[in-house]
Amino acid sequence: METEQCKATDDFNTKQQVDDAELANAIMSRRFQPKFFSSETWEGYNFSDLKIRLKESTEVYGAVLWPSAMVLCHFLETNRDKYNLVDKNVIELGAGTGLVTIVSSLLGAKVTSTDLPDVLGNLQYNVTHNTKGRCKYTPLVTELMWGQNLDQRFPRASHCFDYILAADVVYHHPYLEELMNTFDYLCQENTQILWAMRFRLDPENSFVDRFQKRFHLEELYDLPSLNIKLFRAWRRCKWTSDS
């Protein structure tokens, strides 16, 4: 009996490893390299039956695309029946090179794409060049300093988001509490958070623990080969009158 249980466990673990490898390969295969050398450094991605070309900047940390963004985009495209972005109000935190913003826009969303001031130039370039004439709604690229002037920039009465999207915004930086407060402020009663995260060090794990005190959390993807998990989250309770 014990031998049969061990074999069943081994078979289950093997299947999980195969599923992980197949999904990770499907996601990473969406990237393509330029066939010819050029003066600009860019990488290509295939989403929504279109080629997306992103210019990266190695001088700015946020202007480099990380695999978590590809994981989130793959999920959005392959689960569009359940997570239909058409005509939905979406905000992306830490948009970086803009891949998630671009794919969400191609899928029909009204997207507000946010990041730090030194990233916005490259972000705007990528978003404009990959969405112009392709999307129902023109994405809005704007500055957002986590935790600062949120009530002025995004008054709740006029800014109600259906989805908050985030990819690789949690890592070893000094603004994790400000990020938490930004999630908390923007996430209204009917808002869903879709968040892809690469696990690196303890700060990421402790952030998830603290995050779960404010939000319900559901794991959608677990990709050990990429050290990435994809979560869906929604707030645990309504705001109080002074929140």
CA–CA separation, 96 and 61 (whole Å) = 8
Residue 203 has what pLDDT? 61
pLDDT at 136 over 50: yes
CA–CA separation, 25 and 146 (whole Å) = 33
CA–CA separation, 160 and 187 (whole Å) = 8
pLDDT at 61 over 70: no
Q: Which pLDDT band, with edges at 50, 70 and 90, does 164 fall under? A: very high
Q: Which pLDDT band, with edges at 50, 70 and 90, does 172 fall under? A: confident
Handedness of CA 169, 173, 175, 177 (dihedral sign): positive
Q: Which pLDDT band, with edges at 50, 70 and 90, does 33 fall under? A: confident
How confident is the prediction for the chain on average, in pLDDT? 87
Full-model pTM: 0.87
- Read off the amino acid at residue 9: T
pLDDT at 62 over 60: no
| Residue 79 backbone class (left: φ over 0; alpha: ψ -120 to 50; beta: rest) | alpha
